[in-house]
Chains A and B, each alone.
Chain A
Amino acid sequence: MTRRILVRLAQVPLILLLIYTAAFIMIVAVPGSPFQAAGSRRLDPLAEAALRARYGADDNVRFYFRYLGRVLSGDLGQSFQYENWTCNEIIADSLPASLTIGGAAVVLALAGGLALGILGAVFRHTWIDSIALVVSVAGISIPTFVIGAALLVLFSVTWPVLPAGGWDGPADVIRPAITLSLVPMAYITRLTRLGMLDCLGSDYIRTGRAKGLPEYRVILRHALPNALLPVVSYLGPAAAAAMTGSFVVERVFNVPGLGVHFVNGVLNRDQMLILAVVLVYSTILVLFNLLADVAVQLLDPRLRQAAV
């Protein structure tokens, strides 16, 4: 078990290097210059060349290795667009907001999704199951910008109990977190319900019931852990995605998170910022996937056995 985790950990740098290389190639291949703002006055070519030299971005091969060296020493470089800020500062400033909202969203999604999924499976084909179905279909199909805008109007204008857009206190976490939680909540509901239905129909559950176990023990102790396996696998990438920010949610609620840099970095061809954000995101993603895998192994007795 420990060995497997160590092997996986050792693969992390290699995966990140591959992602870095792929991102780098795409960044230098797309047309457009980070030093020429679209739609504004043109910079003369000599001045642009000098700016590229200043950032060490004049030669792609050298840029590739030099930036890699900087990253290894903990420096994610200098944003071209926001030239008064380093990428470290930009990420240090925006990642906490995204982690806060994403973390809250994951907790909400888990709580809501598990409850709805279990209830839906236990009370299969009743009105409770129907509610679980409606929530999961709605969560997946209503775009976040619609839900976000509705929450904003409802609680800031119609019934002004929460501030309209901003990032000043805990009250500002509630609505973005709810908005962001709906899609993972929908998935978790469906995964849990399916998993539970599968388990509840199997032989060991019938044996448990025959032995006279109370129903709550059958459901929570015997069926749920097995039903959870797909949820845990899903949770790794879902949590990483939620915690690294969402462009739409950040925009609607005016949250200074990381998601906007993914989009604007690319639109501005801000090469160092794109690389920095991609590296941060992929590190989180790879680590969460690893955590999810470890958790699945711990939960699944068959895998636990095999690993020992």
Chain B
Amino acid sequence: MARIPREAPADLRLVESISISTLDPASVSHLQDIRVLIQILEGLMVFDPSRPDPVPGCAASVDVDSGGRRYRYRLRAEARWSNGDPVIADDFLFAWRRAIEPGTRQDYAFFLDFVAGVPEYVAWRHAEISRIGELPGASRRAACDAHLAEADRRFGATVGLAAPSPDIVEIRLSRPVPYWLDLMSNPVFLPLNRRAVEPYRRISDTGLIYYEPGWSRPGRMVCNGPYMLADWRFKRSVRLARNPHYRDAGPAAPRSVEILDVADPNTAWLMYAAGRVDWLPSLDAGFVPELLARSDSPFPIALNRGADRPRRDIHAFPCFGTYFYSFNCLPTRPDGSANPFHDARVRRAFVLAVDAEAVCRSVLRQNEIPAESFIPPDSIAGYPRVAGLAFDPIEARRLLAEAGFAEPRRLPETVISFNNEANHALIAQTVAAMLRANLGVRVRIEGKEGQTFADDKQRHRFHIARASWYGDYSDPTTFLDTLATGNGNNDSGYSDPEYDALLDAAGRAADEGERMRILARAEARIVTETLPILPLFHYVNVYAFDPQRVRGLAPNVRLLIPYKDLEVRR
């Protein structure tokens, strides 16, 4: 076999269960990719797990004016790329313009749509690309060149991103965004070294700009974070080494980090048990409930603590995600018949008839938090807890009768669909049994292949569908916006003028306290009155590590940890 020369074991060794698929800040969206990227690229603002708000990273300072519409960042004079280049404002502008371009634009580019002129610029680019695409082949090149020259001009003149000097980045927003600094810690805002990436740029004859793979490989990827990419063996491991040009990683910071790609949770656990890795950041296996039952974590907010329990290396804590069911709220079902869930009373009846706590206690058993709200409680600083509906089968039956189904079996059969993965089937069986027993309705469950299920959901071809949402930034809107009318992630087809008006009002609120109160009212509306969703539980994450060996690891709802803050003792 092709023997791989083995380097010395890394200072910190951990496991990711899903392969690192991309290290391109314009396209990352998976947690495991983001977790690597934030170690090797440093944005203007960085996420700090010990604080509620992000802290300046590559920026030394930030000034906000024009009523929260203009942000002016001054870069640290000592900020350097791993090739020794200073980090300049143009590196940010280059990366951001790249991220919004059609052809590279992916899931999170919409964060940049808050910047003045960006949506218009992107729409114009799309229109021009299709216009050039319809020209005969011979005349495309010339049209494309003219268009790209115009694009440069337009970007400079109309888009609110500017670099007045090499150490100043200026952003003009189209409206004040109270959580802008928090958004800025998203990977889509990370800088790229123009000199290292631009050689990979290609332009199609219709004016689409894209990049050949290769710039984000070890040896070629230029980094400005505390670490740099030392090695990336596809589907095996990623190895990070300290970036010698980074300002202050701290004396205890691991000099090297190895992230092993291990898909099977049992294998990962064996590797941990055999001492081959120091930390499992997301332990998820059938035996976790048994481990938790024997574990006593020293985490201050750990969910598993008990006297007389021997294991101190298993730590469960809440994270920023919710597992719920989406009701199809459209007036008709996929087959054209009238949809009983169009009536909010029926949806409420279904929610009241499900005992989320029993699902957590007897099915999930990993200390999940039974949900009655959409946003995980206490996950956002300054946002109040919103109470939802408690389990109440009697009220549920009354509501169902009020909605015209005094005889519950006359309600058309309801199908709960889910993707055939993890424990979704077990949860669906439990919920279906509760609905049958508590409401007397006919319910069937149906598992589907992941992408087929996702496609059905997007096209609203379901009655009740499994769903989950993880917040992207520390603001209630990261959850609540997904239920706004017309939002691309609004699978339930929920459309409620009053809810939309509340979200709008929050956007215009004069002060932050007022804004949070309005958003809490919006959330209260969806979890107590209109119920487009049936909240089941808030996710927990389980770490496995020995606190004597790995120090500095703290619970963190976003599951993002700067590895430079850890210390490994052997």
- Contact of A82 with B22 at beta-carbon distance under 8 Å, contacts A41-B108, A164-B271 already known: yes
B516 contact set on A, CB distance < 8 A: none
Structural contact, B236 and A47, CB atoms closer than 8 A: no
A144 to B393, CA, bound (A): 46
Structural contact, B204 and A84, CB atoms closer than 8 A: no
Chosen A-B contacts, 16 in total, with CB atoms closer than 8 Å, are A31-B455, A32-B451, A32-B452, A36-B455, A39-B450, A40-B107, A42-B488, A51-B103, A82-B19, A94-B234, A166-B260, A166-B271, A168-B4, A168-B6, A254-B267, A260-B235
The reply on A85 being an interface residue by CB < 8 A is: yes
- Contact of A32 with B263 at beta-carbon distance under 8 Å, contacts A84-B23, A164-B271 already known: no
A147 contact set on B, CB distance < 8 A: none
A3 to B217, CA, bound (A): 48
Structural contact, B264 and A160, CB atoms closer than 8 A: no
Structural contact, A32 and B233, CB atoms closer than 8 A: no
Stretch touching chain B among A128-136, A149-157, A186-194, A275-283: A149-157
Contact of B106 among A47, A166, A256, A269 (CB under 8 A): A47
Residue on A nearest B101 in the bound complex, by CB: A50
The reply on B419 being an interface residue by CB < 8 A is: yes
A31 contact set on B, CB distance < 8 A: 451-452, 455-456
Number of interface residues of A (CB under 8 A): 57
The reply on A37 being an interface residue by CB < 8 A is: yes
0 or 1 for each of B181-212: is its CB under 8 Å from A? (1 = yes): 00000000000000000000000101010100
- B251-276, CB < 8 A from A: 260-264, 266-268, 270-271, 273-274, 276
A163 to B108, CA, bound (A): 40
A164 contact set on B, CB distance < 8 A: 267, 270-271, 273-274, 276
Structural contact, A152 and B451, CB atoms closer than 8 A: no
Structural contact, B105 and A50, CB atoms closer than 8 A: yes
- Contact of A38 with B453 at beta-carbon distance under 8 Å, contacts A54-B210, A167-B236, A256-B233 already known: yes
Structural contact, A42 and B458, CB atoms closer than 8 A: yes
The reply on A298 being an interface residue by CB < 8 A is: no
- Contact of A41 with B29 at beta-carbon distance under 8 Å, contacts A31-B452, A36-B454, A251-B264 already known: yes
How far does the Cβ of A11 sit from chain B's closest Cβ, in whole Å? 33
Residue on A nearest B108 in the bound complex, by CB: A41
Contact of B22 among A33, A83, A268 (CB under 8 A): A83
B260 contact set on A, CB distance < 8 A: 166, 254
A94 contact set on B, CB distance < 8 A: 234-235
- Contact of A44 with B488 at beta-carbon distance under 8 Å, contacts A54-B204, A54-B208 already known: yes
- Contact of A90 with B30 at beta-carbon distance under 8 Å, contacts A30-B452, A32-B451, A40-B107 already known: no
Residue on B nearest A261 in the bound complex, by CB: B235
The reply on B24 being an interface residue by CB < 8 A is: yes
- Contact of A41 with B489 at beta-carbon distance under 8 Å, contacts A252-B264, A260-B235 already known: yes
Structural contact, A157 and B274, CB atoms closer than 8 A: yes
The reply on A169 being an interface residue by CB < 8 A is: yes
Contact of A84 among B213, B419, B472 (CB under 8 A): B213
The reply on A75 being an interface residue by CB < 8 A is: no
The reply on A97 being an interface residue by CB < 8 A is: yes
- Contact of A47 with B27 at beta-carbon distance under 8 Å, contacts A54-B208, A256-B233, A267-B450 already known: no
A32 contact set on B, CB distance < 8 A: 450-452, 454-455
B3 contact set on A, CB distance < 8 A: 169-170
B429 contact set on A, CB distance < 8 A: none
Residue on B nearest A170 in the bound complex, by CB: B1
- A4-31, CB < 8 A from B: 30-31
A252 contact set on B, CB distance < 8 A: 264, 266-267
The reply on A182 being an interface residue by CB < 8 A is: no
How far does the Cβ of B210 sit from chain A's closest Cβ, in whole Å? 5
How far does the Cβ of A168 sit from chain B's closest Cβ, in whole Å? 6
A256 contact set on B, CB distance < 8 A: 233-236, 261
A149 to B270, CA, bound (A): 10
- Contact of A83 with B274 at beta-carbon distance under 8 Å, contacts A167-B4, A170-B3 already known: no
A279 to B228, CA, bound (A): 36
The reply on A96 being an interface residue by CB < 8 A is: yes
A30 to B449, CA, bound (A): 11
A62 to B262, CA, bound (A): 38
How far does the Cβ of B544 sit from chain A's closest Cβ, in whole Å? 14
A84 contact set on B, CB distance < 8 A: 21-24, 213-214, 216-217
